[in-house]
């Protein structure tokens, strides 16, 4: 399965979210490719699927961080920072909705 830019962004975004429950090399490659999509919804869902769903660390995403796509790096950083804030809030007993 490969991300196709001509597909409506809504379907691509939903597919990225759904892929978060299918671990495997093909899934990771597909989601990494989706990080280069033109729509930020698709990029965000791919980043969240890689980090939340598949549990990939920043180290395992080194190819994205060392790549040429600044927006892919920024969306991954956003998701990682958001997760770090949530983790700290849970440790401190604070919950944000």
pLDDT tens per residue, range 13-59 = 899 999 999 999 999 999 999 999 988 999 999 999 999 999 998 89
The CA distance from 57 to 74, in Å, is: 15
The CA distance from 30 to 19, in Å, is: 9
The CA distance from 7 to 58, in Å, is: 29
Give residue 95's pLDDT: 62
The CA distance from 91 to 30, in Å, is: 33
The CA distance from 70 to 85, in Å, is: 22
pTM of the model as a whole: 0.82
């Amino acid at each position: 399965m490969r991300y196709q830019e001509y597909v409506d962004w809504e379907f691509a975004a939903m597919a990225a979210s759904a892929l978060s429950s299918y671990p495997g090399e093909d899934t990771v490659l597909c989601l990494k490719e989706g990080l280069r999509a033109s729509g930020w919804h698709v990029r965000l869902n791919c980043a969240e699927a890689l980090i939340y769903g598949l549990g990939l660390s920043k180290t395992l995403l080194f190819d994205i961080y060392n790549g040429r796509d600044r927006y892919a790096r920024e969306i991954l950083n956003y998701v990682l920072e958001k997760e770090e804030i949530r983790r700290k809030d849970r440790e401190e007993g604070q919950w944000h909705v």
